[in-house]
Structure 1
């Protein structure tokens, strides 16, 4: 009997092992990748880009039309209430003020005293006329004076009384607080007010942001000459996608980074959320208070902000590529139990670009399928290969979409 070579047995054994291995692998099902669920610290943030501004700004202009004589401030200067910003040419107004002052001075020092002297003289003449009338009346009663002479004396007395009344009215009108004095004082006050308008002063404390005038320019009412950022209220205004509105709240902390100083982040806090949505852009304006304000911060500086909207010290988080049929806070996962695929409904908590918290439906150590696009039927056997859970998306990329990255501590 012919002997079978040992090599044949080896080949048969290898083929048998291959068949068994392929059959075992086929029984196990296709290989899928997924994640092992473990508790992790989780921070949910909203990222956006905005600009530094003040709580309010003052626009300074001229109340009169005049040529600019001198400008005393420029951009970046700090001003206080009452500081002189601009001087306008005012030679004609100043001349009118001097004329009005001279007229009032003449009234007080010359015309009114002269009127009082005239009144005193008229009163003296009236007294003399009355005495003359009395004397002549006595003579006429004794028939020592004609009736015509008495009538002349009485007429002189009446004229003297009229002169006194006229002098009294003149003196009264020229007295301080009376008609002519009041008129001159009002005219002088109006001219001085007009002259004061040739000195443009700051009404607020702050920093000059813009100046739109130089000596020789014509200043006119309605033209903005300076813009002043009011002191004591620096904030960041950020338009955020309205989808983020439910996650935003007053008092939430944020970290801001100026594009010009990327290595110097500074804290901020939400102080205002607009009550309405911009229908053109679909965004809601959020204002963040900055306190203290870093020295390098400038008005209208571009700033990226990361607002912390939620935090979990230990959260069961699943990568978003494992979620299926997401409807609001409800979703579905493919779990692996005893080597078979099982559909599992879950409730989501904090959500973001890379990871989402599962608050109900998962346990620590559960294995979930990563690629939800893969066609797997309920109960199918699969072979599981663990995949590294993703980290948060690139910060700048997230900022450009105003979406919600979730970052690990």
Structure 2
């Protein structure tokens, strides 16, 4: 009878021990990592690729069909305003100008003649016709009474009348010619019109001759040459491309997802891939109002803060880093402590309070890829638990861990929050 009693006692003792262990484990706090928010600089930046582009870029081409006689520039040459760049064959155009100038001189001579010697001759002819009319009228007046008295035959009167009519007709013709050569006369009007047409033909010939010479519209540099001597060129085809002198721009296509972070006036650092040790200061100049539907990108232009160095070339590839947000001091936390995604400016955290995990809503400010700013709902001495799956109300034992993000370019010192380094098109 003693042996069964001993076994029961041992079993009861073991059960009590297991129950005590279970109770101890159930009430024992869970150990989780905790992060202490602290004041630190918080910087966000955006990185993307860009290209060098002059503010004004023009293409030059011929407006006539002709053969190229000479090409006086090569790619990379600096040009000045009005400098001859391409000369087309001009023999035909020059001959047309000579012919037009001769026609203009002829029209001018005719007009001058009408205004001087021609008018004097017509005036003398009119005066002669007027004298003839007076003589014919006097003869007619003498013959008429003599015929009535029977001294002359009626045929002589008819002859005198006919002579008077001829003299009057000649006088009328001379008078019309005199009027035609007057200041408002048809001859002078016609002569002026002919001279105007000749002058217009001369101007047209000069314009066509000028079209055989392609000149630089302003100071700049040749960035593309696609023409050679002897080539037949057609209107509408670009022969040369010039980057005109002026401010140099940096142009980039940035993913539309980052549009909210960009605005004109933001500072940027620009580095040419071939000259990485010579960074350049720039600022965001403009952001295109429309989005490229095919690429889902938006055009961003940046202006260099200083004159571009000699090594900068048209269409050179550049790396750009734009500072899109900065807090000199912010209460920062790593993104790993979030229980869920940030919605608007609100986020949910687990905070250690009286030995238990408690949810807390905080207001979020500046965000980077690694950290975020807490603007309200948390104090610097609070401990934030890094255990997204932990149930609220659980007893916890916090183990404080250190955290530190990457440092933004140009920043110095120890910072907890740091830069958003987003590579776009790299």
Change (3 A) 1:396 1:346: closer
Give the C-alpha shift of residue 196 in structure 1. 1.6
Which deviations, in whole Å up to 9, do the C-alpha atoms of 1:198-224 show, x marking residues without a partner? 122333443332222222222222112
Q: Which whole-Å CA distance do the structure 1 matches of 2:63 and 2:96 have between them?
A: 18
1:317-370 deviation per Cα after TM superposition (whole angstroms, max 9, x unaligned): 112222221232322233344654443332221111122111123222433344
Deviation for aligned residue 1:183: 1.5
Alignment of 1:120-269 (within 5 A): 120-143=120-143, 146-147=156-157, 148=159, 151-152=162-163, 154-155=165-166, 158-159=169-170, 161-162=172-173, 165-166=176-177, 169=180, 173=187, 178-269=192-283
Distance 1:169 1:195, change over 3 A: farther
Q: Could you tell me how far apart the structure 2 residues matched to 1:25 and 1:164 are?
A: 137
**RMSD over aligned Cα atoms:** 3.6
Secondary structure of the 1:382 match is strand
CA contact (8 A) 1:107 1:174 kept: no
Describe the superposition over 1:147-183 as per-residue Cα deviations: whole angstroms up to 9, x where unpaired: 4266346525633652564476479646897121112
Distance 1:348 1:136, change over 3 A: closer
Using a 3 Å threshold, how does the CA distance of structure 1 residues 396 and 264 change in structure 2: closer, same or farther? farther
What is aligned with 2:370? 354
1:296-325 CA deviation, whole Å, 9 max, x = no partner? Answer: 322222222222222211111112222221
C-alpha distance after superposition, 1:219-264 (max 9, x if no partner): 2221122223343332222233333333322222222222222122
Question: Which residue does the alignment assign to 1:330?
Answer: 346
Tell me the CA shift for residue 88 of structure 1. 1.4
In the alignment, what sits opposite 2:295?
Answer: 281
What is the CA-CA distance between 1:97 and the residue it aligns to?
Answer: 0.9
Greater Cα offset, 392-401 or 262-271: 392-401
Give the Å deviation of 1:40. 0.8
**Which residue is 1:15 aligned to?**
none
Task: Kindly provide the CA deviation profile for residues 123-169 of structure 1, in whole angstroms up to 9, marking residues without a partner as x.
Answer: 32332333244234334433499442663465256336525644764
Q: Does 1:364 align with 2:380?
A: yes
Give the conservation status (yes or no) of the 8 Å contact 1:66–1:220. Answer: yes
5+ residue gaps, structure 1, are 1-22, 404-409
Superimposed CA distance per residue, residues 365-399 of structure 1 (whole angstroms, 9 cap, x where no aligned partner): 433344x4565663332351423423259999944
Distance change >3 Å, CA 27–CA 263, structure 1 → 2: farther
Structure 2's unaligned 5+ residue stretches are 1-22, 147-151, 410-417
SS of the equivalent of 1:228 reads: strand
Matched residues in 2 for 1:342 and 1:396: separation? 30
Secondary structure, aligned partner of 2:396: coil
Aligned equivalents of 2:213, 2:377: Cα separation in 1:
73
Matched position secondary structure for 1:99? helix
**d(CA) in 2 for partners of 1:396 and 1:314?**
14
Give TM-score, length-normalised by structure 1.
0.79
Q: Name the SS for the 1:96 alignment partner.
A: helix
Which one of 308, 332, 356 corresponds to residue 317 of structure 1?
332
Alignment check: 8 A CA contact 1:27 1:381 kept: no
- CA separation of 1:160/1:66 partners in 2, compared to 1, >3 Å: closer, same or farther? farther
Worse-matched range after superposition: 345-354 or 199-208:
199-208
* Native 8 Å contact 2:219 2:245 kept in 1: yes
Q: Which residue of 2 aligns with 1:10?
A: none
Equivalent residue, structure 2, for 1:64: 64
Matched, 1:305 2:320: yes
Of structures 1 and 2, the larger Rg is shown by 2
**Worse-superposed segment, 122-131 or 89-98:** 122-131
In structure 1, what is the Cα distance between the partners aligned to 2:73 and 2:116? 53
SS at 2:329 equivalent = strand
The 8 Å contact of residues 64 and 235 in structure 2, kept in 1 or not, is answered as yes
Query: Displacement, 1:268?
Result: 1.7
1:112/1:175 contact within 8 Å kept: no
